[in-house]
Structure 1
């Protein structure tokens, strides 16, 4: 994990934004750190929105973050950046990495061991978008915070 974690007020669409950079090499630490970073970020949400984020949504956000960071660390080299953008009704979770190829949605296969990350993200999020980025790609998932 990089030493610098940034948190700042964002554009009007987002109430709060934070980002952190991870080195792809020690991937075991990156996932645990990303989950903790997400929980800490959402714990600060009452300062930016009228109600706290429910525990169920915190857990889903940690699951999505873990899956997206895992993909970046396993399939891209170098650094990856996790960006969290909180709005009134949703959390946008983005992971930027240096691999231009999009993650592959393999479809439901209960016999397959592993490689269900994108399937999980699609199942729990409103949307999943892969955008080209000058140094690779940005994978952005939107998690609803409504009941």
Structure 2
């Protein structure tokens, strides 16, 4: 039953896409508000991930920095969001669902690939604490980067 959490969270992106497609005039007026709503939701998600996973150890710092490097070079937020859901916690999935409603983008297939690809990491014996920190690093660089061109 827990494996349905990421699928339900991704439904937010599909719903956001449908909202953007069928109500485009509302999206144009609300663009600055949606931008700030996205940043606030990502900041809350980042705070939650760091609060639940960070400890003062070398491995924590290494995984967080690796997430920053990956986020800097790859620039795909969906990959970081998929990794954030590897812990199968309920609260991050709620943030991801609401973020999907706010963000709703056109390229659902590409985003689905980046979103569900991290679930192959479940085959590796990594503690979810480290994968969560990896995702937090990617989300952190996305927040700091600002608007994607």
TM-score, reference length from structure 2: 0.31
Structure with more of its chain in strand, by fraction: 1
Structure with more of its chain in helix, by fraction: 2
Greater relative contact order, per chain length (Cα 8 Å cut-off, separation 6+):
2
